[in-house]
Amino acid sequence: MEKKWWHKTVGYQIYPKSFQDTNGDGIGDLKGVIRHLDKIEKLGANVIWLCPVFASPMVDNGYDISDYMDIDPSFGTMEDMKELIEEAKKRGIRILMDLVVNHSSDRHAWFQAALKDPFGKYGKYYVFREGKDGKEPNNWRSIFGGSAWEKVPGYDNLYYLHIFTKEQPDLNWENQELREEIYEMILKWMDLGLGGFRLDAISHLKKNYQYTNLPPDGPDEYNMAFEYFNNVDGLADILREMKERTFAPTDALTIGEYDHMGPEDVEDVIGENGSFSSVFDFCHTLDNVRNPKWGNTVALFDDYRDQLFAAQKIVDGRGMLCNFLENHDKTRIIDRFLMPEDQNRYSEKMLPVTNFFLPGIVFLYQGQELGMRDNPKQSIQGFVDKPTFAIYDRLIAEGKTDAEALGQINRESREHSRTPMQWDASAEAGFTTGTPWFPVNKNYTELNYEAEEKDPDSLLWFYRKMVAVRRREDLEETFLYGMLIPEYETVSGVLAYRRKDEKNHILILTTSLADGMALPFADTIEEVILNNYDTCEAGEGTIRLQPYQCLVLKVKE
Ligand code: TEU
Ligand code: CA
């Protein structure tokens, strides 16, 4: 593998709206990100992925862009953005912006022009189609609920496509003129000195426009026709062109949000000449202890392990996955992976070690390093995200009671990850001097950055140590390019693997067992590199793992 700077990525994802408010309007902003750069540097991150900060009516918190060339005033100005890039650079940190080009906002000038003249130039930037038999062109369901088609105001039988909310019309990637506009926009942003991009919903750009209705798969008349708008044949050609026209001559880090990358896609997507540097590995994101399929920490952990190794096998050294546990679309990992009785100082440290030393780059999400938790609501009115209400309506239509629907949403909602960052024990966790746009989790008086900074045994300090291990000069090459050898694969409650090259042989051992366990052990330990306990109980032919222990060991060849 040809070596690249971004192979050393330890990324930190920021959801700016919830990170730090500096002007008292209750909304996080770019100045707030600048304020905390030293902390991100101290954690050891060298890349920041900034969720969208472009001009937006904020129907989807910035994933609905109304002007690609401007910063939303709620986040700050273009000057703030330039300052952030500069200040980050001083600390050895590069900024990735979030490129949302599957769709725009319905407030974008292109879409406004398209509505006025659906058959003119800008109509071809989007997907307008005639309805059938007095209904939508077909019965695709939007990912965020309801029909994927919305009627064009002022027309009897004309619709536009939106696979997310109706305020997020899909751009027409079949139109070369549209593609050119997007490429030009990307190049302009790159001129500012960005580290690269995270590419939103990028596996959806190509659609299979077969207008046959599919059998309804729910109480509504729609079908979640995912395979008609995800990873569709021909997608690779679009992505290759995008790369060639924009990133190719640079050393930008590009990470695709790519659902369902199959073995046959690896080469095209992240191979030597692939369209992106890396993709987020979603293999584990459906795992949830509160899902009856897993239901307990150990069952989930075993399944998670199998999926991690399967994903690595698919890639098979041909590229680098992006290993992560949390993001702004998922619940918090401690609540997702650990039953309440399994949550403690040891288990919360063990979780990130499970995938942090696998081949690939890594990403952490704001607050993960503090162990921030989900924030269940007493009523559906406590939520604010549009898709949440669509999910609620669907559950009610399926016959669930209000309590059941709320219960399910409290278990699964992506909104849990969007509560404000907990900086200290002062009012509103130090996030804002005003009223936060979304309530702070009440646990902030105990669980906050300042408290953990003062406690050398805290999760925050453990994350710092973990990052430092990955970066340790004598080990880094092994973690980046060493061989992966899964270990103890059939032992329930154990997730373990080796990383090996000519220089080092590292064994990573983690367990989800509340009582720990003894494992047969033939290795000779040279150094205990990372441990969530003070002791490592290795003896003649066995090692005793303590409850929820994690170990990174340097062993003899
Ligand atoms: O999420 C995209 C997304 O959820 C789909 O690409 C995914 O394939 C689907 O959910 C099935 O798992 C991104 C952002 O991360 C999210 O916050 C936005 O709301 C969404 O795009 C729309 O821009
Ligand atoms: Ca603000």
36: DSSP letter: T
Nearest ligand to the CA of 391 is 1
**pLDDT, tens only, 141-159:** 999 999 999 999 999 999 9
220 given a catalytic annotation: no
Q: How confident is the model at residue 211 (pLDDT cuts 50, 70, 90)?
A: confident
- The pLDDT of residue 210 is 85
pLDDT of 511 higher than 90: yes
In this structure, the residue with its CA closest to atom 12 of ligand 1 is 259
In sequence order, which residues have a C-beta less than 8 Å from that of residue 411 and are 6 or more positions away?
A: 288, 290, 291, 331
pLDDT exceeds 90 at position 43: yes
Instruction: Report pLDDT for 312.
Output: 97
pLDDT at 448 over 90: yes
Please report how the helices 297-315 and 345-356 are oriented relative to each other, as an axis angle in degrees rounded to 10. 20
**Nearest Cα residue to atom 1 of ligand 1:** 201
Provide the token pair at 356. 């942090």
Specify the residue with its C-alpha closest to ligand 1, atom 18. Answer: 63
Q: Which ligand is nearest to the CA of 203?
A: 1
Q: Say yes or no: CB of residue 63 within 6 Å of ligand 1.
A: yes
Which residue carries 């003896």 as its tokens? 539
Catalytic residue chosen out of the listed positions 98, 150, 167, 257: 257
CA 302/CA 168 separation, integer angstroms: 38
Give the global pTM.
0.98
Confidence of residue 513 (pLDDT cuts 50, 70, 90): very high
Whole-number pLDDT of residue 499: 98
Q: Is 365 in the pocket of ligand 1 (CB under 6 A)?
A: no
How many angstroms separate the CA atoms of 46 and 544, rounded? 36
What average pLDDT score do residues 457-471 get? 98
Proximal ligand: closest to the CA of 59: 1
Three-class HEC string of 518-555: EEECCCCEEEEEEECCCCCEECCCEEEECCCCEEEEEE
Q: If you measure from the C-alpha of residue 395 to the centroid of ligand 1, how many angstroms do you get, rounded to a whole number?
A: 20
Q: CA-to-CA distance for 382 and 378, rounded, in angstroms?
A: 7
Mean pLDDT of the region 203-220: 92
Q: How far is CA 15 from CA 61, 99, 253, 365, in A?
A: 9, 14, 19, 8
CB of 201 closer than 6 angstroms to any ligand 1 atom: yes
Given 29, 60, 80, 200, which residue is catalytic?
200
Query: Ligand 1 within 6 A of 100 CB?
Result: yes
The minimum-distance atom of ligand 1 relative to the CA of 282 is 12
3-class secondary-structure state, position 258: coil
Has residue 222 got a pLDDT over 90?
yes
DSSP state at residue 149 = E
Q: Are 543 and 487 in contact (CB under 8 A)?
A: no
Tell me the pLDDT band of 303, cut-offs 50, 70 and 90.
very high
Percent of the chain with pLDDT over 70: 100
pLDDT at site 212: 82
The tokens describing 487, both together, are 């270990």
Q: Which residues 6+ apart lie within 8 Å of 425 measured at CB?
A: 444, 445, 446, 448, 450, 451
CA of 35 to the centre of ligand 2 (A): 13
Position 1 scores a pLDDT of: 86
Please tell me the predicted confidence (pLDDT) of residue 223. Answer: 96
CA of 431 to the centre of ligand 2 (A): 10
Atom of ligand 1 lying closest to residue 164 CA? 22
Predicted confidence band at 277 (pLDDT cuts at 50, 70, 90)? very high
- Cα distances (Å, whole numbers) of residue 159 to 151, 155, 213, 541: 4, 8, 16, 69
Average pLDDT, the chain: 97
Query: What strands, in cross-sheet order, belong to the sheet with 158-161?
Result: 128-130, 158-161, 149-151
Q: Tens of pLDDT along 310-367?
A: 999 999 999 999 999 999 999 999 999 999 999 999 999 999 999 999 999 999 999 9
Q: Determine contact, residues 139/147, Cβ cutoff 8 Å.
A: yes
Among 61, 101, 143, which residue has the most ligand 1 atoms within 8 Å of its CB, making it the best to mutate? 143
Instruction: Please tell me if the CB atom of residue 60 comes closer than 6 angstroms to any atom of ligand 1.
Output: yes
Q: Please give the average per-residue pLDDT across 440-447, as a whole number.
A: 98
Instruction: Verify whether residue 257 is a known catalytic residue.
Output: yes
Does the pLDDT at position 234 exceed 90? yes
Q: How far is the CA of 387 from the centre of ligand 1 (A)?
A: 11
Q: Is the CB of 450 under 6 A from ligand 1?
A: no
Nearest CA to ligand 1 atom 4: 201
The predicted pLDDT at position 557 comes to 81
Which residue from 326, 354, 357, 427 is spatially nearest to 24, judged by alpha carbons?
Answer: 427
Contacts of 458 (CB under 8 A, 6+ apart): 451, 452
Closest C-alpha to ligand 1, atom 5: 201
Q: Which ligand is nearest to the CA of 436?
A: 2
Query: CB-side exposure of 339: number of CA atoms within 13 Å?
Result: 15
The ligand 1 atom nearest the CA atom of 201: 6
Percent of the chain with pLDDT over 90: 97
Q: Helix 402-412 vs helix 386-397: angle between axes, to the nearest 10 degrees? A: 140
Distance of CA 57 to the CA centre of its chain: 22
Q: From ligand 1's centre to the CA of 201, what distance in Å? A: 6
| Distance in Å, CA 281 to ligand 1 centroid | 14
Torsion of CA 509, 349, 492, 529, to 10 degrees: 10
Per-position DSSP letters for 395-460, written without gaps between them: HHHTT--HHHHHHHHHHH-GGGGGSPP---SSGGGGS-SS--SSPPPGGGGTSSHHHHHH-TTSHH
The amino acid at 468: A
Give the mean model confidence (pLDDT) for residues 222-245.
97
Does any ligand 1 atom lie closer than 6 A to the CB of residue 335?
no
Ligand nearest to C-alpha 54: 1
Atom in ligand 1 nearest the alpha carbon of residue 103: 23
